[in-house]
Amino acid sequence: MTTAELFGQIVLVIVIIVVIIFVLVILFRSIRIIPQARAGVVERLGKYHKTLMPGLNVLVPFIDRVRPLIDMREQVVSFPPQPVITEDNLVVSIDTVVYFQVTDARAATYEIANYLGAVEQLTTTTLRNVVGGLNLEEALTSRDNINGQLRIVLDEATGKWGIRVGRVELKAIDPPLSIQDSMEKQMRAERDRRAQILTAEGTKQAAILQAEGSRQAAILEAEGAAKAQVLRANGEAEAIKTVFTAIHDGDPDPKLLAYQYLQMLPKIADGDANKLWIIPSELTEAVKNISSGFLGNLGGNPPTK
């Protein structure tokens, strides 16, 4: 093989290698894989051509150019505390969190240079406008209202940028330290007042319940005493009736009755309070009957009925 033939083969091999490399470069430049939840803006000769969706996409090499991919997921951005002046001329520090999502990759690329910075500045401006019309107490108690107004204004302003604002949250509203001390003292006084009210209410309810219980106890005690007296009276009546029936059925003579009467006298006189004895007339009659009964028995005469 001559030198010319060897040189020709080498040149042919080099050309083949170059062609292969060129084909590989063309294939590499013409195929683009877009990940999920991403979008790519394609410019053809410097002009917007189309938006690449996730998956395999084919481009024209050296003519089409893909801009940096845009994240289409919902993003959460926390902005640093912003000083805001309220209606009553108090400076409060407010932390905000914005939830937004890019819905149009073309608009987010060409309508705004830096949509993240624009959202931050717009949030700060809108927050100052909304809170500036409220006093401190309204700002502290109207977070939901402030969040709603911020979301509406931001969503309307960012719509032309291809961005949808889903939610705006206020993380913290910090008033000045002097106002915080005053609010803490006020809250402590309010808690003490509520505690005193609850204590007084509990004491009142306890007194009412105690009085009601005492009244019920007195009523039940009186009812029990009354029932006991009734039962005692009924028992005594039954006892008297039984004794009377027994006496009537036994047909006792006067001497037996006189003897029973004398047996009851010690019970009548029993007690420390009995200082004076009154001898009834029946006692004389009873003694006479007993004496006549004993004397009659001693003389052998039967007692007369």
**Domain layout of the chain by residue ranges:** 30-70, 73-175, 252-305
Q: Computed from CA positions of residues 55, 56, 61, 64, in that sequence, does the dihedral angle turn out positive or negative?
A: negative
- Residue 300: per-residue pLDDT: 46
Tell me, what DSSP letter sits at residue 23? H
Computed over every residue of the chain, the mean pLDDT equals 79
Tens digits of per-residue pLDDT, 36-73? 999 999 999 989 999 999 999 988 888 889 999 999 99
- Which residue in 128, 62, 57, 73 sits closest to 105, CA to CA? 73
Q: Which runs of E-coded beta strand occur in the chain?
A: 31-34, 38-44, 47-52, 55-58, 64-66, 70-71, 74-85, 91-102, 163-174
Q: Computed from CA positions of residues 158, 161, 167, 168, in that sequence, does the dihedral angle turn out positive or negative?
A: negative
User: Does residue 257 or residue 104 have the better pLDDT?
Assistant: 104
- Residue 210: per-residue pLDDT: 87
Tokens found for residue 99: 């939830």
Tokens found for residue 131: 């809170």
Q: Is 238 exposed, middle or buried (0-12, 13-18, 19+ CB in 10 A)?
A: exposed
**Which class is 73-175 in CATH?**
alpha beta
Q: Determine if residue 269 is left, alpha or beta; phi over 0 gives left, psi from -120 to 50 gives alpha, anything else beta.
A: alpha
Average pLDDT (272-295) is: 54
Tens digits of per-residue pLDDT, 143-154? 888 888 888 888
The span from the CA of 155 to the CA of 167, in Å, is: 9
CB-CB contact of 131 with 116 (8 Å): no
Q: 163 falls in which pLDDT band (50, 70, 90)?
A: very high
Q: 290 falls in which pLDDT band (50, 70, 90)?
A: low
Enumerate the β-bridge partners of residue 93.
83, 174
Tens digits of per-residue pLDDT, 88-97? 888 888 888 9
The span from the CA of 130 to the CA of 125, in Å, is: 9
The span from the CA of 139 to the CA of 260, in Å, is: 101
Q: 299 falls in which pLDDT band (50, 70, 90)?
A: very low
Q: Is 270 exposed, middle or buried (0-12, 13-18, 19+ CB in 10 A)?
A: exposed
Q: 236 falls in which pLDDT band (50, 70, 90)?
A: confident
Q: Which runs of E-coded beta strand occur in 53-178?
A: 55-58, 64-66, 70-71, 74-85, 91-102, 163-174
The span from the CA of 84 to the CA of 136, in Å, is: 11
Q: 133 falls in which pLDDT band (50, 70, 90)?
A: confident
Please tell me the least confidently modeled range out of 130-139, 166-175, 232-241, 267-276: 267-276
